[in-house]
Amino acid sequence: MTLYLRHYWKDERLSFSSSTNKSMTFDGRLVKKIWVPDVFFVHSKRSFIHDTTTDNIMLRVFPDGHVLYSLRVTVTAACNMDFSRFPLDSQTCSLELESYAYTDEDLMLYWKSGDESLSTDDRISLSQFLIQKFHTTSRLAFYSSTGWYNRLYINFTLRRHIFFFLLQTYFPATLMVMLSWVSFWIDRRAVPARVSLGITTVLTMSTIITGVNASMPRVSYIKAVDIYLWVSFVFVFLSVLEYAAVNYLSTAQDRRERKMRERARSQSLPCTCSISQTRTMTMMDGTYSEADTNSLAGYTEEPMVPEDEPEEKQKAPEKSEHMVVHLSMSSESAGIKKRKSLRALNIIQNTHAIDKYSRMIFPGSYIFFNLIYWSVYC
């Protein structure tokens, strides 16, 4: 930051008599010939006094010996930041001034007018932060080798602008999660469509996470944006797993139905009856009582011939024709129990139901997560 640093002190050696009581102003050449405070910025990484077109230093001496020493300085200082709530965070940075050689017994530093000693231009703005407030403090700093020193603090409270991160991070992540829900409305038999959609959303979320972390300091704790992005990534990944479960259950259900049809064929009862060439009998699968099944006793295994045939033909053995009749024996109570068991497992076996419930569970859970997230960090 660039600031005007003004020092006030009284040096009686510089007093002079004046009938008009007016001060005298000098440039930086006189500074080297008088005593000035040796103030420096404690956590400064780089600082310099502007020298275009000449040294930006002003010295004003009053008749009673009061001195005003002003200089224009640009300072790049360190600020310890906590990114646990990034980018919904507020940071407090301080600019610290201290005498380099004089201890508190030799030189005492203090703010002339407290917080009113600081004044800023209302047009000043930062690209990422909003300056909420600033205040001044002072305290003693101790060095084991040299002693106690007066230290002045300028504390700034900065709040980060969120709109940039909403556009670059939060909105894309939310759209990717919503895009992954589209697969719930796609037919489960459209394997290429659902798989490609899931993979695309997963890779896009990975790219967003990588881009955010690349522009951030490598800290060892979890940031607020990490929580949002990783929860969004989990939702996208779960949508892919949901289709894997639907596809697996669909295959298992088809296999189960095929085995049930084969078992039904193998458990049917064959009945071979000898009938004549001119007689036919047809029976449909169904539920038969014991009396109905006993009525089949009239059919014998011996060859049967019609009565109106000639006697010669009756005596001549003929090749009898056989007909296979399948009788399906079942009870009404067994059918009811079977239907109840299938109804209990309907949600698991019916893949349409899985997609149907996912259409409600996934959006509801994500909305609930957003309510908790924004209420905690905002």
| Three-state helix/strand/coil letters over 94-139 | EEEEEECCCCCCCCCCCCCCHHHHCCCCCCCCCCCEEEEEEEEEEE
- Per-position DSSP letters for 10-56, written without gaps between them: E-GGG----SS---EEE-TTTGGGS----EEETTEEEEEE--SSS--
Distance CA 79, CA 76 (A): 10
pLDDT number for residue 114: 86
In the block, tokens 């990588």 appear at 210
Indicate the pLDDT class of residue 32, thresholds 50, 70 and 90: confident
Pick from 51, 53, 46: nearest CA to 71: 51
> Each residue of 197-234: b (16+ CB within 10 Å) or e?
bbeebbebbeebbeebeeeeeeeeeebbbbebbebbbe
Residue type, 326: H
Torsion sign (Cα): 123, 127, 132, 133: negative
pLDDT of amino acid 336? 55
* pLDDT tens for each residue of 287-303: 444 444 444 444 444 44
Structure tokens belonging to residue 225: 């944006």
Dig out the tokens for 118 from the structure: 């600081």
- Kindly state the tokens that stand for 301: 């295994």
For the chain, what is the mean pLDDT?
Answer: 81
Query: How buried is 246 (Cβ within 10 angstroms: 0-12 exposed, 13-18 middle, 19+ buried)?
Result: buried
Q: What are phi and psi of 112, to 5 degrees?
A: -65, -40
Q: 322 by DSSP, 3-state: which?
A: strand
Backbone angles phi, psi at 129, to 5 degrees: -125, 155
Contact 305, 318 (CB under 8 A): yes
* Beta pairing partners, 187: none
Q: Between 55 and 345, whose confidence is greater?
A: 55
User: Contact at 8 Å (CB) between 118 and 99?
Assistant: no
- The answer, yes or no, to whether residue 244 has pLDDT greater than 80, is yes
Q: Taking residues 171-184, what's their average pLDDT?
A: 95
pTM (2 d.p.): 0.70
| Position 35, amino acid | W
Cβ–Cβ under 8 Å, residues 39 and 97? yes
Q: Are 157 and 132 in contact (CB under 8 A)?
A: yes
pLDDT for 342: 52
